[in-house]
Structure formats: C-alpha cells, structure tokens
Amino acid sequence: MKPAEDEIRRAAQLIRSGKLVAFPTETVYGLGANALDRNAVQRIYEAKGRPASSPLIVHVAEIAMAEALAAEWTAVAQQLAARFWPGPLTLVVPKHSSVPDIVTAGLSAVGLRVPAHPIALRLMQLAKVPVAAPSANRFMQLSPTTAEHVRAGLGDRVDMILDGGPAQVGIESTVVSLTGERPVVLRPGIIELEELEAATQTAWRDAESNIVTEAAAESPGLHPRHYAPRTPFYVLSIGSAPPEGRGCILALPENPSAYAARLYAALHEADKQGWDWIAVEEPPQGAAWTGIRDRLRRATTKL
Ligand code: TXA
Ligand code: MG
C-alpha cells in the first residue's frame, strides 16, 4: 500500500521536529533523521545500537542540494551524479562545514545520495532538509527490504514507518569515494565498476580484488561481518558437503538483479524458521555479481 501525500507530509514534519522516520528507498529501507540536527542524528545511532564510528549516508532530493553539502564538487562528482542520480549510488566527497561531525563519524568526507524511490524523493522535498539515513536495521543485522522487516527489527524505536512495498534493488547502494587522487569503489552494489568508469572517462583505482580490506580503513562502517542473519549462513561451492543438522538451501533467481531483489527477504524468512543453518549455492563470478558476492561474504559464517 502506497502512503498518501498527507502521510508523507506528516513524516516530513516529524523529520523537521527531530524525530526518526523509516522510509523506502529503491535499495533498502532507511532510518532517517534531519542531518543538520545533531540530537536527531544521535537518536539514529541509539535506535540502531550502532557504534559512533560508522558514518551515515545523507539523502537529498536533487544534485544542487548535494553540492551544497560538499566542500568540493568535482567534474567527476557531477558526471556520476548526472548519470546515476536519482539511483543506487552514494558519493563520498569532502564535507561542507554545515554537515555536523556526528553524521560523518568525525571524518572530513560525507556520503551523499539522491534515492530513486518516489516516496523517498517526496519526503526529502517536503522535509526541505538533508536526511541522514543508514539502513533501518539494528547494528550487524540484515538490512530491511520491506516495512515489515523494519517493524520487526526496530519496533517503537522509530517514530513512523512509511510503507512503500518491497525494495526493488534489494542490496545497499554502490559507495564511491572521490576524496583521493582516483575514484574508488568502497562498497560494490548493483552499479558495476565498468558503468562507473564509462560515465567518467577517468582512471579508477582498481579495488576489485581488495574492496573489503582496502575499504575497511577508509570506510569504517564496512565491518567484515555485517548484513548477517542470526542462523549460521553458508555459501556452498559446487560439490561441497552441506553442514550437519537441519538446513535450508535458498532457491534464488538466476538473474543477478532479481537475485539481489530477493536475497535479504529470503534470508529474513529463512531466519525465522528455526533451521540449524541456511545456505546458498555459490553464485557465478561475473562482474554483475560483485555486489551480491560482497554481501554473501559479509553475511556468511566462516567454516
Ligand atoms: O542503499 C543504501 O546505501 C542504504 C539506503 C538507506 O540509502 N543505506 C545504507 O546505509 O546502506 P548504511 O549506513 O547501512 O551504510 C552506509 C555505508 C557506511 O557503512 C560506510 O561504509 C559508507 O556507507 N559511508 C557513509 N559515509 C561515509 C563516509 N563519509 N566515508 C566513507 N564511507 C562512508
Ligand atoms: Mg547498513
């Protein structure tokens, strides 16, 4: 059920008065607060149980609003924003002094994104303030792709939940840092490196093989274990024996976009069913699977 304009208006008013609103984006649901209000942002960390060392992504309605929050807006930033926004891409750029330190966990750069979901966009427009929003889940747990996931995970820690139906992309945005000499992918997502390169015609740092290790230092929120169900979760390579006990091997689509859209919902469901373990079969190697492989790596139990 799509919330009516009135409901989005009420949500925008709550954001303006320092409250927390969970809202749909095309990637996953976000837990939003006024990014310019330190106390409101502090409440996000409390509601999630998130360490103060993990920076938050700031969501805005249009490129001009993002530019205003950056100390430096380069040609590459403009090219990427023009090509992929609104959409599942976060740009990490030097922050303007108006962005409170609590938003960036003390870092001098801020992550910015214009989400593609019409309800998210309308919320940003009506709130007229930038909205800091991590995924709307408790720290270390699975990201929510439905309003029901948010309700189950955060309950009354959130003042309002806007229900926009299931998220279409299903895994978190591609995070790109533009603070170094060359752009680099800190967190892979559904937008591939090749597409990013094509949009900028500049040399990128090739972090393909070491995204996790390299990015960990630059992006403190990227904990190696993250996005995980409670039940032990494994990736089964072909021919490997499944673990002992009663387990569930998830049946997921063969197409990478459809797979991403379904992955967290399938994990949320299986996690409630009391299995001894959950598993997926190892996905293909291709570039279209990079974001998915990254999430599986973080979510799985090491044997
Ligand atoms: O798709 C998404 O990105 C979702 C929706 C709600 O927009 N949000 C999301 O937020 O996944 P979160 O907080 O769960 O993950 C944000 C990650 C951080 O963990 C960190 O790795 C990176 O983005 N990040 C954010 N700000 C950063 C900064 N200033 N410098 C480096 N990395 C940053
Ligand atoms: Mg998250």
27-46 residue pLDDT tens? 999 999 999 999 999 999 99
The model's confidence at residue 47, banded by pLDDT at 50, 70 and 90, is very high
- Domain assignment present for 222: no
- Domain assignment present for 63: yes
Shortest-distance Cα residue to atom 3 of ligand 1: 173
Q: Please give the pLDDT value at position 210.
A: 42
CA 48 vs. chain centroid, Å, equals 14
Question: Mean pLDDT, to the nearest integer, of 235-264?
Answer: 94
Q: What percent of the chain has pLDDT over 90?
A: 85
Question: Mean pLDDT, to the nearest integer, of 129-137?
Answer: 98
Tell me which of 200, 219, 253 is where a domain ends. 200
Q: What is the dihedral of CA 89, 226, 2, 34, to 10 degrees?
A: -70
CB neighbours of 45 closer than 8 A, spacing ≥ 6? 51, 52, 102
- Domain assignment present for 165: yes
CB neighbours of 190 closer than 8 A, spacing ≥ 6? 27, 88, 169, 171, 174, 256, 257, 260, 291
Residues 99 and 171 placed together within one structural domain of the fold:
yes
The mean pLDDT of the chain is 93
Phi, psi angles (nearest 5°) of residue 235: -105, 120
- Domain assignment present for 259: yes
CB atoms within 10 A of CB 274: 9
- Domain assignment present for 212: no
Residues 274 and 179 placed together within one structural domain of the fold:
no
* Entry pTM: 0.94
Q: Please give the pLDDT value at position 224.
A: 58
Atom of ligand 1 nearest to the CA of 169: 1
Long-range CB contacts for residues 286-293, cutoff 8 Å, separation at least 24: 286/256, 287/192, 287/193, 287/194, 288/192, 288/256, 289/256, 290/188, 290/192, 290/193, 290/208, 291/171, 291/174, 291/188, 291/189, 291/190, 291/260, 292/171, 292/256, 292/259, 292/260, 292/263
The model's confidence at residue 303, banded by pLDDT at 50, 70 and 90, is low
Residues 72 and 128 placed together within one structural domain of the fold:
yes
Angle at 71 between CA 65 and CA 77, to 5 degrees: 65
- Distance from Cα 220 to the centre of ligand 2, integer Å: 12
Tell me which of 159, 183, 200 is where a domain ends. 200
Residues 190 and 245 placed together within one structural domain of the fold:
no
Q: Does the pLDDT of residue 230 top 60, yes or no?
A: yes
CB 38 within 8 A of CB 132: no
Residues 145 and 12 placed together within one structural domain of the fold:
yes
Residues 93 and 174 placed together within one structural domain of the fold:
yes
Residues 43 and 177 placed together within one structural domain of the fold:
yes
Number of domains the chain contains: 2
Residues 137 and 14 placed together within one structural domain of the fold:
yes
Which pLDDT tens digit goes with each residue over 184-221? 999 999 999 999 999 998 999 976 544 444 344 455 55
The preferred substitution site among 23, 85, 90, 185 for testing ligand 1, maximizing ligand atoms within 8 Å of CB, is 90
The model's confidence at residue 248, banded by pLDDT at 50, 70 and 90, is very high
The model's confidence at residue 278, banded by pLDDT at 50, 70 and 90, is very high
Residues 147 and 280 placed together within one structural domain of the fold:
no
- Domain assignment present for 213: no
Q: Please give the pLDDT value at position 56.
A: 98
Residues 28 and 75 placed together within one structural domain of the fold:
yes
- Distance from Cα 246 to the centre of ligand 1, integer Å: 35
CB 77 within 8 A of CB 70: yes
Long-range CB contacts for residues 79-85, cutoff 8 Å, separation at least 24: 79/199, 79/200, 80/176, 80/178, 80/183, 80/196, 80/199, 80/200, 81/114, 83/199, 84/191, 84/199, 85/113, 85/114
Q: If you search the block for the tokens 């926009």, which residue do you land on?
A: 164
Ligand showing the shortest atom-to-Cα distance for residue 216: 1
Q: What percent of the chain has pLDDT over 70?
A: 92
- Domain assignment present for 224: no
Which pLDDT tens digit goes with each residue over 286-297? 999 999 999 999
Which residues form the domain of 243?
233-299
Residues 117 and 263 placed together within one structural domain of the fold:
no
Which pLDDT tens digit goes with each residue over 67-110? 999 999 999 999 999 999 999 999 999 999 999 999 999 999 99
Q: Please give the pLDDT value at position 213.
A: 42
Q: Please give the pLDDT value at position 1.
A: 62
The model's confidence at residue 228, banded by pLDDT at 50, 70 and 90, is confident
Which pLDDT tens digit goes with each residue over 158-191? 999 999 999 999 999 999 999 999 999 999 999 9
- Domain assignment present for 79: yes
**Residues near ligand 1 (Cβ within 6 A):** 25, 27-28, 30, 54-57, 88, 90, 92, 104, 107, 109-111, 113, 115, 133-135, 172-173, 175, 186-187, 219, 221-222
CB 249 within 8 A of CB 280: yes
Shortest-distance Cα residue to atom 19 of ligand 1: 221
Distance CA 253, CA 190 (A): 15
Residues 56 and 98 placed together within one structural domain of the fold:
yes
